[in-house]
Structure 1
């Protein structure tokens, strides 16, 4: 008995000393396989994982293909069901739990069918599901930004675009470690995204969101890559059977005098500038001031996404550049705004308007009147230029 226990104690002490000497995070699920050539532990431990998006006031996170609810502290399945308007039995059965089962703070509960989309009315910053940036309509995004900026008590900015995470249903025998290994993420990030306990416990039938990389993009077909050490295909050499193009050589006697036959061109005489340099049209990116007036508030990223131009009530507002009307709407506080889409993914935004003279889909030309400045104290026009999803300083575009 003593003989068999001694090696075990020695082995345990040796293992403890070995783990204590490690300076890197311990690979608890042995992703490295101890000596195997294929090791993904470093990639999982060092991956730059994005934070989980913020849900709305109900706890709902909405994506194009599914919706989930983030539980609050003290919630039961019945509490979550009442908050989103679904039968408790249906929600519990879909997640493999009972209606009275307590839930951890941050735990993910999958919805069996879609409920009302998050919106400003439910505490979200945008309306609709979270979609990849390439699929988000720029006009909608800019319109939502106007809604937030016009509010007197704006809510914290949330995620308006992002990659839809994989939603994994736990099968019998799976653990958080095997699931993390399957998707090449760290168990800790998996636990943070799904509100797992300190033991990383999961249950059969549970739905988990797989963390996405901070720089992740919508998946596209990957090009084939040869493994290191593999033989790369040798490029085909030019065929010797194809003759070279025919080359006509000058007569032998002319070759020697060729250098002296070419005379340099005399320099061009200067010509008086009588407007020739002005004949080229101005750049398409150049814009005109939408109203004549002084700028009373400058552009400041994150604070004022455009410029405020002082103007008397009723002053005509002109399109800064040619384009197409993308959206016309009114904020919750009654402020009308207009969005015009231009080439190169540029959008101009005009707010504090009245008597708008165009409609959605209309083509407008640079300088065309699109509305009037509304009355205010003071009265002004708020003007933005957006490149894609980001606001830019309008002064860089204005002539």
Structure 2
């Protein structure tokens, strides 16, 4: 069973109260990363869901799903894709004769025959990540398929593999959208949800993938053919030569060794995606101004505009500690029951703690670095979302924690 989603009335109340609290604007919309709001996600374009084949099957390297049609039941989908209806029903938490909405996603417990031109697909096989398709593979498969004449190969369908999320008890389309930084509308369109965004426990959802918008590149200036290039003005006897300004002798001497250096500048390291990776996080605090609020693995790193803090894996009930000394500025919860708190620190810093329970302090309390202030809330997975803000601009917490 899911609970109806309501607006963020609690946060709205804090906005009004914040105006009376010395200028601390507590409007958290767009400032809590994926933890409690979708305003940043609304700015992020998503891809369209791939088209299924004639059976309704969409295939990815790690799983397959079927898309229901108007008038479908679980049984009719099972018949169309060639799986036992009881097995398919158990896997999706429904009954064999339950009606399905047009566009609803049905997760497959095991793989069926891959989409191919014979099943109405453009190409054969699962949708592949773009990086996994190379020219050599295309050329080789083209030759194999052309016994009498070499025909151009049909490129495999490419695209990012979406996260497949299983709905847990108490989750709503809105909380799931916030978790993955997508809009509820996009989530509904990808999964055929009704106008109330209704979900059921055990239902599988495809999380919309972000559209890859290419960044504009500056091209080198190209001379139009036949136009020639600009000719420098020749020196004139009637005009004096420009005065040459020489640097002081000591600057020339200091710059000389640099001119003889023949080592190329080191190339900056390429960023490595953190998808699926975990980084150990301890309470040591290193040389930073703050200490880790919980001990655990960082399961999601800071990414401006996508995740405004870090998500730290921790068991339910793990003590949450103040990252630095300060004063509790706000404690509240969303209408979905997601509790969060803010602590104000010197130098215009604010630390934010989200997905907490059993808060042991109150607004206005002075807290010391390392003091227990709450516990990690139960969840699947359970984690603490932690942010550091300079004023109200989010910043990467890690430099403060090292």
Larger Rg: 1
TM above 0.5, yes or no, is no
Q: TM-score, normalised by structure 2?
A: 0.44
More helix by share: 1
